[in-house]
Amino acid sequence: MRVYPTFFKLAFSWMDAEKAHKIGFRAIRLAHSCGAGRVLGKLTAPHASLRTEALGLSFPSPFGLAAGFDKEGHGIEALSELGFGHVEVGTITGQAQPGNEKPRLFRLVEDRAVINRMGFNNDGASAVAPRLKAARAALRKAHAGVRPVIGVNIGKTKVVELEDAVEDYLVSARTLAPAADYLVVNVSSPNTPGLRLLQNVETLRPLLSAVGETADQAAGRHVPLLVKIAPDLSDDDIDDVARLALDLGLDGIIATNTTIGRDGLASDPAKVEACGAGGLSGAPLKQRSLGVLKRLKSAVGDQLVLIAVGGVETAADVQERLDAGATLVQGYTAFLYEGPFWASRINKGLARNRRS
């Protein structure tokens, strides 16, 4: 019998979503700081059969935590102890910023979904970089074999004009790439005005080229570079991004970010309307994100690493994405509903599939 769903209903379901997130995240970090997380980590460590090679890196599991949960690199070690094969930190911007006004995070429990308009609230690249460096060193020390991987997701500072966006991204790339295992350019959040305009290939080409070159120079090595796209792109636009990624020699694409759509929800329309603008994530995104993945796979074949995210809840969901062409899979929203042992359950399910 699983205890967490009842605990969530009693302790968190009535609470402001952002406050609940902070309390839960603080508890995870506390478990790590008092040593309980390290004991737990031995129990939740992914089975050796799940080891995955991608981006020139070794991942202990193909399943990882998407950007958005740990925005500032405060809990990388603690989260890795829960069984995630990688933790993607961010989105981080060149300058510190508070994000949008609260409330800005809302649950749609009936849909197992979340609407957020956080607005890239974070401490800024210069403050986050030392945390990444320390976490990377700690993970190397703690894992004699394959350690969890650290991804870093970067975005545009809100006050920076679109015409100055490239240089703003380069600030983050220079600062964060030396401590990143891989880097993601986020041009697909709906919560920074004008950001999605950067998905246009004419604008995206110089941005990705500059970030890739700058990241490699700053790190003194090749830092795998990916771009994260929205599920709301047309099929033609998806094809354009795929061609651009191949042309530029990117290492991969992450599909997908949150959606601005609200179709097919079970929640009361009045409740959905009251949440206001923002990106929708969770179970309702499952089919569209899977469709984008399949389209990308048909366009790029095995030439790029595809990371699937959106509506992932179970080991069966993860396996479906892997079967559809993803090399790695990420989740986030279901973590809020499933609790701290979610990644471990998914890893065990994947391992059973591989033994059968």
- The two most distant CA atoms of the chain are separated, in Å, by 54
Determine contact, residues 116/279, Cβ cutoff 8 Å.
yes
DSSP codes of every residue in 7-53? HIIIIITTS-HHHHHHHHHHHHHHHHHTTHHHHHHHHHPPPGGG-EE
Of 33-47, 102-116, 296-310, the one with minimum mean pLDDT is: 33-47
pLDDT at 349: 95
Q: Is 344 a catalytic residue?
A: no
241 band by pLDDT with thresholds 50, 70 and 90: confident
Ranges of each domain in the chain: 4-355
Q: Is 200 annotated as a binding residue?
A: no
- 323 among annotated binding-site residues: no
The verdict on whether residue 121 carries a ligand-binding annotation is: no
Helix (H) or strand (E) holding 329: strand 328-331
Please give the full DSSP string across 94-138, using - where no structure is assigned.
SS-B--SPSP-EEEEGGGTEEEE-----B--HHHHHHHHHHHHHH
SS3 114: strand
pLDDT value at residue 234: 87
| Average pLDDT, rounded, for the chain | 90
Cα-to-chain-centroid distance, residue 353: 25
The answer on pLDDT for 195 being more than 60 is no
| Residue 146: predicted pLDDT | 92
Question: Is 122 known to sit in a ligand binding site?
Answer: no
pLDDT for residue 84 is more than 80? yes
**Residue 2 backbone phi and psi in degrees, to 5:** -90, 130
Tell me what pLDDT residue 67 has: 95
Decide: helix, strand or coil at residue 186.
strand
Q: In what order do the strands lie in the sheet with 113-116?
A: 105-108, 113-116, 279-282
Query: Does 332 show up as a binding residue in the annotation?
Result: yes
Q: Is 282 labeled as ligand-binding?
A: yes
Q: Kindly report which listed range (197-201, 202-206, 234-238, 332-336) carries the lowest average pLDDT score.
A: 197-201
Instruction: Give the Cα separation of 293 and 207 in Å (integer).
Output: 23
Q: 1 among the known binding-site residues?
A: no
91 known ligand binder: yes
Q: Are strands 63-65 and 57-59 parallel, antiparallel or unpaired?
A: unpaired
Q: Which of 189, 281, 289, 344 is labelled catalytic? A: 189
**148-161 per-position pLDDT tens digit:** 999 999 999 999 98
How large is the average pLDDT for residues 245-249?
Answer: 91
Q: Which CATH number fits domain 4-355: 3.40.50.150, 3.40.50.10210, 3.40.50.2300, 3.20.20.70?
A: 3.20.20.70
Higher pLDDT, residue 165 or 312: 312
Residue 191: predicted pLDDT:
55
- Please give the share of the chain, as a percent, with pLDDT higher than 70: 90
The share of the chain scoring above pLDDT 90, in percent, equals: 70
| Cα separation, 289 vs 199, whole angstroms | 17
- pLDDT given at position 128: 98
Distance CA(197)–CA(188), nearest Å, equals 9
Establish whether 133 is an annotated binding residue.
no
d(CA 80, CA 150): 10
44 marked as binding residue = no
Task: Output the pLDDT for position 198.
Answer: 64
CA distance 196 to 266: 27
Report the distance separating Cα 225 and Cα 75, nearest Å.
Answer: 23
**Residue 54 pairs with which residues in a beta bridge?**
57
Residue 2 pLDDT greater than 80, yes or no: no
